[in-house]
Amino acid sequence: MTPPIAANHSEASDKAETIGYLHSTESGAGVDGPGMRFVFFVSGCQFRCLYCHNPDTWKLHNGRQVTVEQALSEVATYARFLKFAGGVTISGGEPLMQHEFVGELFHQIKQRYGLHTALDTQGFLHERVSDAWFDDVDLVMLDIKHSDPDKYLALTGQPLQPTLDFAQRLKRLGKKMWIRYVLVPGLTDGDADIERLADYVAELGDLVERVEVLPFHQLGKDKWAQLGMEYQLNDTPIPTAAQAAHARALFASRGLKVT
């Protein structure tokens, strides 16, 4: 739940001391929201996606422990530039695993710097937070990994329905969305599966500003080996340009803006 505006200095200080775990940060990112972004990648994720390129983010305490105040100090240098060039995105891992820290960080970014904010999430844990938690979030980048419940479970280790429920909640709240879809040959490239998702997304209406089709890549497989984990997609090819264009065309055929 988003904390209320502090009534006194002591309460404000307490909120600033809220602890979180950061995997990494990136300044000048151009693919994590509109414009140029400062991105906080938080640690912790309850999904076990077969194509995950950052399995080192799965465990919460693998991250660097920081307070909200310390996290704010990392973005402060860029705040004036970001005010007109882009904003701040919180990604992961899965940010809703650290909803208290992330909520307060968003709140302070809005209060102190007035920056555009984006949340990159699969939405599975959205019931942890109140509607008011999203008051400080301008854009939700919602990752819907598959449209078939059984295939979704096999791909991620978690059920699909909470993510679909979250999309409906965002619609009710009037929150702008970017839908993200990773295109994996043999797993997520079936026409019927893409068309089913395209139909669902189209029903969310004009709040969906775009659909991003993200071609699968193999850049993270070495991390699996380093962590002593079995990587099941060693032999999975990256999508061809034609395959990616075909998937984008299926989404676009429903009147969606696609990138």
Direct distance between the N- and C-terminal alpha carbons of the chain, in angstroms, rounded to an integer: 33
**13 vs 10, 91, 98, 110, 198, CA distance in Å?**
5, 25, 19, 17, 45
Per-residue pLDDT at 12: 53
Domain boundaries, the chain: 9-252
Strand partners, 119: 90, 140
Per-residue pLDDT at 13: 52
Which residues have a Cβ under 8 Å from the Cβ of 230 and sit 6 or more positions away?
224
Which residues have a Cβ under 8 Å from the Cβ of 40 and sit 6 or more positions away?
22, 25, 71, 75, 88, 89, 90, 91, 105
Written as tens digits, the pLDDT of the chain (259 aa) is 333 434 443 455 567 789 999 999 999 888 899 999 999 999 999 999 999 988 999 998 889 999 999 999 999 999 999 999 999 999 999 999 999 999 999 999 999 999 999 999 999 999 999 999 999 999 999 999 999 999 999 999 999 999 999 999 999 999 999 999 999 999 999 999 999 999 999 999 999 999 999 999 998 888 888 999 999 999 999 999 999 999 999 999 999 999 9
The dihedral of CA 165, 168, 173, 174: what is its sign?
Answer: positive
Fold annotation for 9-252? TIM Barrel (3.20.20)
